[in-house]
Chain A
Amino acid sequence: MLRTLAWRAAVALPTLLVVSSLMFMALRLLPVDPAAMSLPPNATNADIAAMRHTMGLDKPLPVQYVIWLDQVLHGNFGQSIHFRRSVAGLVSNALPATIELAGSAMVIAFILGVGGGLLLFALQGRRSELALETATTLAMSLPEFLWGLLFIFVFGVALNWLPFTGRLAPNLPQPSGTGFLLIDSLRAGRLDIFWSALLHLILPASALGIAFAPPIARVLRASLLATWEQDYIRQARLRGVSETRLLLAHALRNAALPSLTMVGVQFGFLFGGSLLIEVIFADPGIGNLMVDAVRNADLPVIQAVGLTYCVVVLVINAVVDALYMVLDPRLRRA
Chain B
Amino acid sequence: MSLLTVENLTVTARVGQGGVARLAPVLRGVGLALDKGEVLGIVGESGAGKSMLGRAIAGYLPPGFSVAGGRVDFNRRNLLAITAEARRAMLGREIAFIPQEPLSALNPVRTVFSQLGEHYTHLGIPRREHRARAIEALAEVQLPDPESLLRRFPHQLSGGMCQRVLIAMAFASRPRLIVADEPTTALDVSVQARILELMAALQRRAGTAVLFITHDLRLAAGICDRLAVLYAGAVVEEGGAASVLSRPLHPYTRALELANPALSARRGLMVLPDHMPGLAALAEATGCRFAPRCPVRSHGCAEREIPLIGDDRRVACQYPERTLGITPSAPAPPHRAGTGEALLSVEGLGRRFRVGGMFRRHGVTALEDASFTLREGEFLGVVGESGSGKSTLARLIVGLDRPTTGRIILAGADVTKGDAAARQIRLANLQMVFQNPSSALNPRRRVGSIVAQALEAAHRPTVEREAVAAELMRAMGLDPALVSRLPAQLSGGQRQRVNIARALAARPRLLVADEIVSGLDVSIQAQLLALLARLRAGGIALVFISHDLAVVRHLCDRVIVMQQGRIVEQGETERVFASPQADYTRELLAAAPPDIGAPAPTRLLAIPPPAG
Contacts and interface: CB of A to CB of B under 8 A. Distances in A.
Interface of A: 3-4, 7, 230-232, 234-242, 249-250, 253-254, 327-330, 333-334
Given A7-B358, A329-B153, A330-B155, A236 B107 contact: yes
A236 B119 CA distance: 9
A240 B122 contact: yes
Given A231-B105, A329-B108, A238 B60 contact: yes
A300 B88 CA distance: 66
B118 interface: yes
Contact of B97 (A3, A7, A232, A235): A235
Interface in B114-137: 118-119, 122
Contacts of A232: 104-108
Contact of B153 (A3, A4, A253, A330): A330
A240 B107 contact: no
Interface string B76-110: 00000000000111111100110101001111111
B90 A254 contact: no
B355 to A, nearest CB: 10
Contact of B357 (A3, A236, A242): A3
Nearest to A332: B153
13 contacts: A3-B358, A235-B105, A235-B106, A239-B91, A239-B96, A239-B97, A240-B87, A240-B91, A240-B93, A241-B92, A254-B108, A329-B109, A330-B155
Nearest to A327: B109
The 3 nearest A-B residue pairs measured at CB: A239-B92, A240-B92, A240-B91
Given A7-B358, A238-B58, A231 B122 contact: no
Nearest to B123: A240
A230 B110 CA distance: 15
Contacts of B110: 250, 253
B169 A333 contact: no
Given A242-B88, A250-B110, A329-B153, 15 more contacts: A231-B99, A231-B105, A232-B108, A236-B107, A238-B60, A238-B96, A239-B119, A239-B122, A239-B169, A240-B91, A241-B118, A249-B118, A328-B108, A329-B155, A333-B357
A316 B205 CA distance: 56
B90 A240 contact: yes
Contact of A235 (B90, B108, B166): B166
Contact of B89 (A4, A235, A240): A240
A237 B122 contact: no
Contacts of A328: 108-109
A237 B60 contact: yes
A310 B211 CA distance: 61
Contacts of A239: 91-92, 96-97, 119, 122, 169
Contacts of B87: 240
Contacts of A333: 356-357
User: By CB atoms of chain A within 10 A, which of B97, B105, B119, B156 has the most?
Assistant: B105
Contacts of B155: 329-330
B357 A238 contact: no
A329 B122 CA distance: 25
A310 to B, nearest CB: 25
B357 to A, nearest CB: 5
B431 to A, nearest CB: 34
Contacts of B122: 239-241
B108 A238 contact: no
Contacts of A334: 156
A250 B107 contact: yes
Contacts of B153: 329-330
Contacts of B156: 334
Contacts of A3: 357-359
Nearest to B84: A243
Contacts of A249: 118
A253 B107 CA distance: 10
A240 B104 contact: no
Nearest to A231: B104
A241 B118 CA distance: 9
Interface string B53-92: 0000010100000000000000000000000000111111
Nearest to A251: B107
Nearest to B355: A333
B358 A235 contact: no
A315 to B, nearest CB: 21
A238 B91 contact: yes
Nearest to B152: A329
Contacts of A241: 88, 92, 118, 122
Contacts of B119: 239
A161 to B, nearest CB: 41
B352 to A, nearest CB: 19
Nearest to B172: A239
Nearest to A252: B109
Nearest to B58: A238
User: By CB atoms of chain B within 10 A, which of A239, A241, A334 has the most?
Assistant: A239
A235 B87 CA distance: 15
A8 to B, nearest CB: 12
A232 B114 CA distance: 14
Contact of A240 (B88, B99, B358): B88
